[in-house]
Amino acid sequence: MAIITSRRTVGLDISQRGLRLAEAHLDKGTPVVDSYVSRVLPEGIVSEGAIIDSERFSEILREAFEAGKFSSRNIAVATFGRRTVIREITMPRLSRQETRAALAVHVPTEDPLPFDAGEAIFDFIPVEDVKSSSKPKMRGMLVGSAAQPVMSIISAVKAAGLRVVAVDSGPIAVVRAVPDAVSAGDYILIDIGRSTSSVVYVSGGRPRQVELTMDGGDIVTERLMEKLGLTRGAAEKVKLTRDPNVLERYRTQFQEVLDDTVTDIAWSVEGIMQEHDSIGQLVLTGGAARLHGIERAFADRFQVSVSAPEFTSDEGEEVSLVAVGLSLHDRGASANLLPHEVSAKAKLSKAAATSIVTIAASALLVGAVAGITGAKASDAQNQLDATTSMNTQLTAEYQQVADAEKTARRVALLTTDRTAATAVESDWSDIFTRMNAVTPAGMDISAFTINNFGSSGSGAESGGDGMSVAVSTTSSTLPDLTAWLNALKSNPDVLSAKVTSSERNQTTGQYQTSVTVALSPTFTYRFVPEQQ
């Protein structure tokens, strides 16, 4: 086996049905794919974002890597599936390391997470400064994943003789793969994957806001199966066909599927466009972006230009932009979800290699100055001892400060939780009644959850932190979500309203929509005595 030594990185895009490897570089802002390989994964190897059959996965990955003749064994992967999150939050301005340490203690999000926060990995991508009367704050994106799927990927990649050097988020990685010529100005990137889709607001070449939806290309396939009475395999072929006879024969059904696909994603796009009037285009990526007529359908709905950049390998195979973006993980904004223990081992290995070189250099130095002893050697030893002692003292002091800050954060959380409990039941009943009154006909509220305080983006904008409620609804059809959000925001006690998820239950056919409603500080603190 040849020894590969390179600082380049190979991107590995994994899904439930396949894996894709890409090595790329930038040429004047345009990604150039140097090598690309994809392989189909048999059913049962990957599930819910985790590697279930590590041995078989490693065999397929090893074969694909050798076939691609890649120049590096360093691999960048992305979390995927339903056990990942990207949320907008506000945090104190800290270093990257301090931020990750703070997130390990407390995750400042008001929305429920699809995994246990105590067994997860989080990172924070800063976007912009937030005006605050207290300490400096940053608004940005909380990126998180359950730890078990990440560790399963790292273990399987290692078993294939490769090394994971970065764990990123797919929607963030795709942004790095979009050519500068396509992405000039502010735009919304819509990546339609197999099981999930992401809507990313990009400004200045950097992701600023990400919305995730559980609707993907598989939903399109299932709709075609239902409307045309086809098998899954046949529906997959029809979905991406360019045959004019097939397109004409099923024109009505195709249009219905297109309308449903756009509707699934519309609430995310509309929400971002309402907040940012500088958006000049939509950029479509992902497998379902090849669906005939989808560019026109999005253009008609949102009245902006739409493009769908496409990369193909030398063999004419469509290239995964996630894999390309992962290969360029050091060329733009990225998340760092590499578990601490894995990162620490990598640094330890590097430190060990450095130590070996240092020891060898020291041996040569000793041989070169063999005659220099006595007072100078004694002075050097004294300086070394003093430095070592100072380093030990500083380490102890740093730990004391870190422990004190951790305790202070926990006390602050307890204080805000106590304050949150002061709102009385009658006021919540009034809030619920008013929200229920503006809920569209045919939509039923199935859950109304009061969330604790947090450094929410909306709260930060108004100079204080407020409470929020999570409203879950069911309906047989998807109503006009934009009109509903505007109706909710007409309530004087409501600061903002935002759709957090909207998907169709394939078993019941019902739409399940969740909305987070941020309440004003005036309502939150109405029963808190003023400080004398």
pLDDT in tens, 243-297: 888 888 888 988 998 898 898 888 889 989 998 889 989 999 988 788 888 999 9
CB distance 499 to 443 below 8 Å: no
State yes or no: pLDDT of 460 exceeds 60: no
What integer pLDDT is reported at residue 403 of this predicted model?
59
pTM, 2 dp: 0.66
Would you place residue 142 in the very low, low, confident or very high pLDDT band (cuts 50, 70, 90)? very high
So what's the pLDDT on residue 358? Answer: 43
Minimum mean pLDDT among 223-227, 370-374, 382-386: which range? 370-374
The pLDDT of residue 7 is above 90: no
Question: What pLDDT is attached to residue 6?
Answer: 57
Q: Beta-carbon neighbour count of residue 73 at 10 Å?
A: 18
Query: Cβ atoms within 10 A of the Cβ of 387, count?
Result: 10
Q: What is the Cα–Cα distance from 190 to 78, expressed in whole angstroms?
A: 17
Confidence tier at 370 by pLDDT (50, 70, 90): very low
Non-local CB neighbours of 322 within 8 Å, separated by 6+ positions = 11, 13, 20, 78, 170, 173, 174, 177, 191
- Are 496 and 459 in contact by the 8 Å Cβ rule? The answer is no
Do residues 216 and 194 make contact, with C-beta atoms less than 8 angstroms apart? yes
Residue 196 pLDDT: 82
State whether residue 393 is helix, strand or coil: helix
Task: Return the pLDDT at 170.
Answer: 93
132, pLDDT greater than 50: yes
pLDDT of 30 above 90:
no
pLDDT, mean of residues 360-387 = 50
476: pLDDT strictly greater than 80: yes
- The segment with the largest mean pLDDT, out of 175-179, 428-432, 466-470, 508-512, is 175-179
Place of tokens 């009109």: 483
Angle between helices 54-68 and 147-159 (to 10 degrees): 60
- Greater pLDDT, 399 or 124: 124
Please tell me which residue, 6 or 54, carries the higher pLDDT value: 54
Question: How far is 532 from 401, CA to CA, in rounded Å?
Answer: 31
Asked if 137 and 148 touch (Cβ cutoff 8 Å), the reply is: no
- Model confidence band, residue 411 (pLDDT cutoffs 50, 70, 90): low
Looking at residue 487, its pLDDT comes to: 85
Query: Which of 95-104, 145-154, 301-310, 320-329 bottoms out in mean pLDDT, i.e. has the lowest?
Result: 95-104
pLDDT over 70 at 530, yes or no: no
Using one digit for the tens of pLDDT, what is the confidence trace for 11-23? 999 998 899 999 9
Beta carbons of 321 and 179 less than 8 angstroms apart: no
Contact assessment for residue 355 and residue 44, using Cβ atoms and an 8 Å cutoff? no
Cα 70 vs. chain centroid, distance in angstroms? 27
- Burial call 347-383: b when 16+ CB within 10 Å, e when fewer: eeeeeeeeeeeeeeeeeeeeeeeeeeeeeeeeeeeee
Q: What is the mean pLDDT of the chain?
A: 80
Strand bridging mode 206-213 / 197-203: antiparallel
Question: Which stretch of 299-303, 391-395, 484-488 has the lowest confidence by average pLDDT?
Answer: 391-395
Q: Using an 8 Å Cβ cutoff, are 504 and 510 in contact?
A: yes
Task: Band the pLDDT of 454: cuts 50, 70, 90.
Answer: very low
Q: Summarize pLDDT for 207-252 with one digit per residue, the tens.
A: 999 998 877 888 888 998 999 888 988 888 888 888 888 888 888 9
Separation of alpha carbons 485 and 498, rounded Å = 7
pLDDT value at residue 58: 97
> What pLDDT sits at residue 366?
43
pLDDT value at residue 136: 85
Q: How far is CA 101 from CA 96, 137, 461, in A?
A: 9, 16, 25
Confidence of residue 5 (pLDDT cuts 50, 70, 90): very low
Looking at residue 368, its pLDDT comes to 43
> CA 337, 211, 450 angle in degrees (round to 5)?
90
Most confident of 26-40, 203-217, 304-318, 490-504: 26-40
